[in-house]
Structure 1
Amino acid sequence: MRTTILATTLAISAFSGIASAQTTAEQIRAAALRFLDGFASEQASEGYRVSYEAGQLDDRLALAQCDSDLHVQFSGDPWESTHPSLQVACEGKRPWRMFVTPEVNIHGPALVATRALARGESLSASMVTTQSVVVNASRRGFTRQLSDVNGMEIRRAINAGTLITPDMLSAPNAVERGDHVIIVARSGTFSVSSRGEALASAAVGEQVRVRNLRSERTIRANVIAPGRVEIPM
């Protein structure tokens, strides 16, 4: 009888041990929150304030026990969505992975239109102001400093109070069709210059067709500054 009771007790204890050897929803939630707290601390040093919630998890969730710390990383870009996906993974002997969808709001300074802006206007300091907004609520990005976009051309009409996003702006043309330009042919530190005529309009960083006024040849060159283009030798 004593042997039977002892065997039953050991079996129950063993079963309890197996049942408790699990990774619970609370442990997964805690790992996600630790990761998000670290992300918030990193962004605070860059001037952003991050508020977050771990997301919904079924409390009945139980995965294999992990013999190492849970690894957490973003699988979606937190700068492009307020609900980026998080991957929580066990990389131990019994590996597994799952995904959690937290709420992440990144608050920071961004440029907002102070008045209605018309297509074709050149952006200047009087047209914008800096406000603290949830910068990742816009899937189209944001602009933080006027120095990054000053003088750029408004591509379409913008209402007052609207967040200025990169797709609303385009670089002004540094070369207009018909302009006389300096063509720089460069190889390392050696360069040769000649004069040419732009056959199209283009901004810095874009390619443009240019006619060499001396040789009458038409070439493709990169616009490097207003009135200057460059080709490799």
Structure 2
Amino acid sequence: MRRGLRGVIPVLRTVAPVFLAGLLVADAAMADMRMAVVPKQIIYPGEEIEAAQLEEVEVTNPNLAKGYAERISAVTGLVTRKTLLPGRIILVSALREPFAVSRGSTVQLVFDDGSLVIRAAGTPLEDAAIGELIKVRNKDSGVIVSGTVMVDGSVHVVVK
């Protein structure tokens, strides 16, 4: 067995550096590899995207412009604005945050001017996500005010 190893060691000395260099080149190619998120099934407008509906694939078209989803985690929980087809890239512009308030529901209006805080019930006149500016009708007075949707679903009224 020892005799066979003596002949193998010189070969390993010449082959090993070439093999390691090949691994480094392959590793660099993996770093340059772009990924895109594509649906496994049709996803219709208004549907909330779930991770099980998606897969990540390698981008093989070098001319593909940016603006598409690259990671499943980046789009999970978002809602589609248009139909997403299986195997087609998902453009980020085709997605939106889920609505925090719905048109016609009841929300709390909050006006906060430092020492003065006024709260009232209101009805949103449109659907909106967190951080969006919307119009809301005060249920008591009927006055329409503008406000920003907050994380808790309330609307903070802005001063004109």
Aligned CA-pair RMSD: 3.0
* 8 Å CA contact retained: 2:148, 2:158: no
Secondary structure of 1:167's counterpart equals helix
Which residue does the alignment assign to 1:200? 126
Q: 2: distance between equivalents of 1:135 and 1:230?
A: 46
Amino acid at match of 1:196: G
The aligned amino acid for 2:67 is G
Whole-angstrom CA distance in 1 between matches of 2:45 and 2:103: 21
* In structure 2, distance between residues paired with 1:124 and 1:140: 23
Aligned residues: 131
Aligned residue runs from structure 1 range 43-82, under 5 A? 48-49=31-32
- 1:1-233 pair list within 5 angstroms: 48-49=31-32, 107-133=33-59, 137-139=63-65, 141-187=67-113, 192-225=118-151, 227-232=153-158
Checking the alignment, whether the CA contact within 8 Å between 1:110 and 1:163 is kept in structure 2 is yes
SS at match of 2:74: helix
Larger deviation: 183-192 or 210-219? 183-192
* 8 A contact 2:38–2:57 mirrored in 1: yes
Contact 1:222 1:229 in 2 (8 A): yes
| Counterpart contact for 1:108–1:135, Cα < 8 Å | no
TM-score by length of 2: 0.65
Residues 157-176 of structure 1, C-alpha deviation per residue, up to 9 Å, x if partnerless?
22211111112222332221
Q: Which ranges in structure 2 are unaligned for 5 or more consecutive residues?
A: 1-27
C-alpha distance in 2 between matches for 1:124 and 1:163: 16
* Structure with a larger share of its residues in strand: 1
Unaligned runs of 5+ in 1: 1-43, 50-106
Q: Which has the higher contact order (CA 8 A, sep 6+)?
A: 2
Taking a change above 3 Å as real, the CA distance of residues 188 and 122 of structure 1, as seen in their structure-2 partners, is same
Q: Deviations 1:40-71 (Å, cap 9, x if unpaired)?
A: xxxx8xx951xxxxxxxxxxxxxxxxxxxxxx
Q: TM-score under structure 1 normalisation?
A: 0.47
Instruction: Point out the more displaced range, 135-144 or 150-159.
Output: 135-144
Provide the secondary structure at the position in 1 that maps to 2:100. Answer: strand
> Which structure has the larger Rg over C-alpha atoms?
1
Q: Name 1:92's counterpart in structure 2.
A: none
